[in-house]
């Protein structure tokens, strides 16, 4: 089977978001970066499916040159090779992102055959646009199920489980298909040292698509009000217990 996982490089924001002076981005000088959490589970799932059924798993990102770190991370836990659509610092809107990914998928499929499944995260941790996977599915003429916490490949089909109030809804799609997944789908493995070393030698295909004008055009970022509240300190250590119980009573949660 052939699996493709599309991932995004995002900063690990920690406790407080600070913006750059021009309010166009998060100040990341002191931050680390990671694969957006939903997509990390997509990588793990694709790797498991290839371990189970044989074949190849490919990881793709659209992002700055440094995003090769996230491609190496994905290859360290088992993806076989990578496609890097390299960009400058400008952010790409969801339509432009989807179009560039579609071109890359078509090129790879022309050379190596169709991907049975293309994985996306349900939404990127940073921009949260909820749409790139669905746009790619339409452009390729493939069915798409979103927000999945269960993916099982059968004979020419994929069984998908989507979280719904009080349980999970089940879909069955014919392959090839596109799926968008959520954290909780699996527990991604931690990359081993040999895995990291192997990842350094795995191939990365790099290209630089040009960015069309944004139709959802970011103007500036704003940190919402409400941060910077001052908590009332009820006390230190176990001695604070009576004051806590008093608060519980005031809040009406102590029946």
Within 180-199, the residues that bind another protein by CB under 8 A are: 182-184, 187
Look at residue 227 and give its three-state secondary structure. Answer: strand
The sign of the dihedral angle between the CA atoms of 97, 8, 216, 138 is positive
Count of residues in the chain: 255
For another protein, the binding residues in 40-79 under the rule CB under 8 A are: none
d(CA 90, CA 97): 12
Instruction: Work out whether 28 is an interface residue with another protein (CB under 8 A).
Output: no
Tell which one of 73, 108, 116, 161 touches another protein (CB under 8 A).
161
Give the binding range for another protein (CB under 8 A) out of 51-59, 93-101, 111-119, 197-205. Answer: 93-101
Instruction: Work out whether 205 is an interface residue with another protein (CB under 8 A).
Output: no
Tell which one of 31, 64, 126, 191 touches another protein (CB under 8 A).
126
Tell which one of 168, 206, 207, 212 touches another protein (CB under 8 A).
168
Tell which one of 128, 154, 156, 194 touches another protein (CB under 8 A).
128
Instruction: Work out whether 171 is an interface residue with another protein (CB under 8 A).
Output: yes
Instruction: Work out whether 89 is an interface residue with another protein (CB under 8 A).
Output: no
Beta pairing class for 177-181 and 144-153: parallel
Angle in degrees, 0-180, between the axes of helices 193-201 and 68-76, rounded to the nearest 10 = 130
Instruction: Work out whether 221 is an interface residue with another protein (CB under 8 A).
Output: yes
Closest CA to 59 of 106, 126, 105, 128: 105
Instruction: Work out whether 106 is an interface residue with another protein (CB under 8 A).
Output: no
CB of 145 to another protein, least distance (A): 6
Tell which one of 29, 30, 201, 215 touches another protein (CB under 8 A).
215
Closest CA to 181 of 208, 148, 137: 148
DSSP characters over 123-150: S-TTT--S-HHHHHHHHHT--EEEEEEE
CB of 254 to another protein, least distance (A): 7
Please, which residue, 87 or 122, has the CB nearer to another protein?
122
CB of 158 to another protein, least distance (A): 11
Please, which residue, 80 or 93, has the CB nearer to another protein?
93
CB of 112 to another protein, least distance (A): 25
d(CA 5, CA 117): 8
φ and ψ at 234, to 5 degrees? -85, -15
Please, which residue, 68 or 99, has the CB nearer to another protein?
99
Instruction: Work out whether 17 is an interface residue with another protein (CB under 8 A).
Output: yes
> What is the four-CA torsion angle of 151, 153, 154, 155, rounded to 10 degrees?
140
Tell which one of 42, 78, 147, 176 touches another protein (CB under 8 A).
147
d(CA 119, CA 178): 6
């Amino acid at each position: 089977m052939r699996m493709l996982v599309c991932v995004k490089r995002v900063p690990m924001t920690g406790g407080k978001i600070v913006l750059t002076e021009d309010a166009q981005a998060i100040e990341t000088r002191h931050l680390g970066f990671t694969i957006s959490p939903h997509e990390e589970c997509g990588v793990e799932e694709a790797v498991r499916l290839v371990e189970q059924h044989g074949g190849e798993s490919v990881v793709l990102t659209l992002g700055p040159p440094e995003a090769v770190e996230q491609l190496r991370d994905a290859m360290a836990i088992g993806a076989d090779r990578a496609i890097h659509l390299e960009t400058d610092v400008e952010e790409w809107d969801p339509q432009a992102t989807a179009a560039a990914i579609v071109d890359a998928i078509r090129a790879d499929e022309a050379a190596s055959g169709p991907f049975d499944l293309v994985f996306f995260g349900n939404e990127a941790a940073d921009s949260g646009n909820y749409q790139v996977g669905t746009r790619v599915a339409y452009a390729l003429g493939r069915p798409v199920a979103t927000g999945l916490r269960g993916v099982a490949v059968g004979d020419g089909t994929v069984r998908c489980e989507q979280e719904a109030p009080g349980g999970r809804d089940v879909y069955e799609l014919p392959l090839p298909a596109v799926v968008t997944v959520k954290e909780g789908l699996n527990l991604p493995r931690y990359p081993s040292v040999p895995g990291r070393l192997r990842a350094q030698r795995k191939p990365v295909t790099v290209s630089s698509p040009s960015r069309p004008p944004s139709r959802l055009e970011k103007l500036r970022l704003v940190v919402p009000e409400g941060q910077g509240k001052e908590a009332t300190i009820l006390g230190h250590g176990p001695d604070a217990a009576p004051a806590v119980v008093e608060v519980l009573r005031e809040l009406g949660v102590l029946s």
